[in-house]
Each structure stands twice: as C-alpha cells, then as structure tokens.
Amino acid sequence: MQNLLDLDRPAMVEWFRARGEKPFRAQQVLKWIHQQGVDDFAAMTNLSKPLRESLATAACIRGPQVVADQRSADGSRKWLFQLHDGNRIESVYIPEPERATLCISSQVGCALNCSFCSTAQQGFNRNLDTAEIIAQLWTANRLLAADGEPPVSNVVFMGMGEPLLNLDNVLRAVHLMQDDFAYALSKRRVTLSTAGVVPGLQRLARESDISLALSLHAPDDTLRDQLVPLNRKYRIAEVLQACKDYVGEGRRRVTIEYVMLAGVNDSDTQARALAKVLRQVPSKVNLIPFNPFPATRYRRSSAERIDRFRDILYGAGIVTITRKTRGDDIDAACGQLAGDFEDRTRRRQRLSIEVTGGAA
Ligand code: SAH
C-alpha cells in the first residue's frame, strides 16, 4: 500500500497517471494532505466517490505515532515520534513573535560522532524516508491546528542526523516544503544545517536554493578534527569553499554555527582566527551556548565570554548573534535531541565509511 506522504509532486503525478487518473488529481490530493492536514480519503470532497474509494484501497496517508508531546516553560514544544520499526525521533517547535520554527530530524541517530552532541551518543541507525521527514511537519501542523495555533512558518534541518548524508529523501521532502500545492515555504524559510559534507553541498547547490547553515565550531583544522571528526575528511578550507560556491553571487549568506565550549574554542585568539577564516565566505555567525547532556565532558562558556567573543567578531565586521537557548527544560535545545532505538551496531561501520572515504 502506497503511503502518499512519501510522494512529492512529480512522484504523485506519476502515481496518478499510472492509475489512469489526470495529473490535476495529484494537485488536489496534495492540497488535502499537506494544506488541510487530511488523512482520510472520504474527506476529499472534490474527488468523486468511486475515486475516493479506489484510493482508499490502494493508498494510505500515515505519519508516525506521537508518543510524547512536551511543552517547555518558554513555549517551545518537543514531539517524540515512533516510527513503524520502533525507532524514535524528535522534532522541536519554537514559536516566536514573527515566526514559528520547526526543527526536524533527517536520520535516526547520526554517524558523525561530534564530541559535543548528544545525538552522537546514540550512534547511527538508519536514514529517514521522505514520508518520515515530511510527516514531522505534517503532524506538527495538524496538532497546532487542533490547538488553534498558527502553522509552522520556518523549517530547519537541525534535529537528529546529517541531512547531506540522506540527500535523496531530504530533497524530496524539501520539494514538498516549497511546493505551492503543499507548504509553499520560500527558500528563506527552509534551512539545511550540515557538518560539511562537501559532495552533498555541491549537489545541493545544483538541485536546491534553500538557506544553508554550516556547523563550523572551530577556526582551525586541529581543533575541528577533535570536535567534528568529519573534518578529517573535508578540511575547513574545502568546506568553506563549497559554502561559498553554494551561496554564489548575489545569493544570501551562509549561517555559521559555532557552539560555545568553555576553554575549548572560546578564546579571544580563536575569535580573531574565526573572523579571519570567514573573510573568504559571505557569512553571519550564530553562537550557540553549549547545551549539556549526561556524561558530557564539556561546559558552556560564560555569558561574559560569549559576549566578548561576539564583540570581536562584530568588530571584524561579521554579523553575529547569540542563539537563545530554548526548550532546555525539556531537553529540546540544540544538541539535546536523542530519540531512541535498539540497534547501534552500524554506528562504527558508518563512521569509518564516512571518515575514511570508502563510501560506495
Ligand atoms: N548534522 C547537522 C544538523 C544537526 S545539529 C549539523 O551538524 O549541522 C544542529 C546544530 O546543533 C549543529 O550546529 C550542532 O553542531 C549543534 N549542536 C550539537 N550539539 C550541541 C550541544 N550540545 N549544544 C549546542 N549545540 C549543539
């Protein structure tokens, strides 16, 4: 049975065509699913009754089960989703006066093993499929609508996983986010965050125009090798060049994410070194106060240190903001997403593939 959440518009058109139906049926159904949040063909009143009945025998519209729905004192909200195979992933909703951002996951766990990230502790299990990625947005909007709250206006791929290592499925989900018959989000409102997978960045540049964030976290390769092991494969200069190519002439700036770790990457010298490496790429910096998790060896930089670091970057002409910590009372802040799964055996396997370059 075909889950229609798995199909972007071209795939949906093809699916209807193969059933002998007109392409515009695909557009009608996309609107019912993604704009009205409908999961029942009987509710699709602009389709004939026989068509609704035949769809109900051949297809379904099924998102993951919501197994926890937690609200933070600051208004943010975290959903824990259970997938069909028992794996669990998390998404975080962050309302602000002018927008409502949903932070979504692209993989169950993550293979990159960044030393300051709690998702890394979980290891890697598998990629999410298109339906599992888009269903995070679909379900969020259904739950928000039920509460009379405004729908999601911005999506960031900053939850669990490395989106550029699951690019086929991420791109199909992005097509739906940007499709006028689905979520119609502009390129400014969809941001992909990456640890710097260079071939993925190059492909993204060819196939998408969404906003880009790079998790840099260190101004030099020696330190970045320790914080982001992927750096041993793709060095800072190469990653920044790929980001520069991505934003291109007249396009926007790349957001540089920099987690503030006390005594590790937060000195004045490192701020000046960061300003220097960023000269080569149109960028703005987001400083992220480190969010602790059990058994971490890191501590968050003090507020004074973060301000000082920001002032040095600012003085060098770089737009810099400190990301407000949201949802930390429910472990929903950056780097605190964990989800849950059983099989961790593939973690070592995947990491060695990524870092040694033996990927097929
Ligand atoms: N794999 C992608 C997207 C997921 S992480 C990437 O690396 O960009 C989203 C952001 O949260 C990244 O910038 C990541 O480095 C940051 N992050 C991870 N752990 C964190 C922690 N404990 N505290 C603060 N930020 C963290």
- Counting from 1 in the atom list of ligand 1, the atom nearest the Cα of 112 is 1
Average pLDDT over residues 306-320: 97
Q: Is the pLDDT of residue 360 over 60?
A: no
Residue nearest to atom 24 of ligand 1 (CA): 290
CA angle 168, 24, 9 (to 5 degrees): 10
Query: Which of 257, 334, 342, 354 does the annotation list as catalytic?
Result: 334
Average pLDDT over residues 179-203: 97
Could you tell me the two tokens for 296? 């971490």
For 122-158, write each residue's pLDDT tens digit. Answer: 899 999 999 999 999 999 999 999 999 999 999 999 9
Which residues approach ligand 1 with their CB closer than 6 A? Answer: 114, 116-118, 158, 162, 193-195, 215, 257, 259, 288, 290-291, 334-335
Of 358 and 207, the structure prediction assigns the larger pLDDT to: 207
Q: Is the pLDDT of residue 345 over 50?
A: no
- Counting from 1 in the atom list of ligand 1, the atom nearest the Cα of 293 is 22
| pLDDT value of position 338 | 62
Question: What is the number of other CB atoms lying within 10 angstroms of the CB of residue 71?
Answer: 14
Q: Is the pLDDT of residue 358 over 50?
A: no
- Counting from 1 in the atom list of ligand 1, the atom nearest the Cα of 160 is 4
For 224-279, write each residue's pLDDT tens digit. Answer: 999 999 999 999 999 999 999 999 877 689 999 999 999 999 999 999 999 999 99
Ramachandran category for residue 141: left, alpha or beta (phi over 0 → left; psi -120 to 50 → alpha): alpha
- Give the pLDDT band of residue 335 (cuts 50, 70, 90): low
- Give the pLDDT band of residue 356 (cuts 50, 70, 90): very low
Q: Tell me how far the alpha carbon of residue 269 lies from the centroid of ligand 1, in angstroms.
A: 23
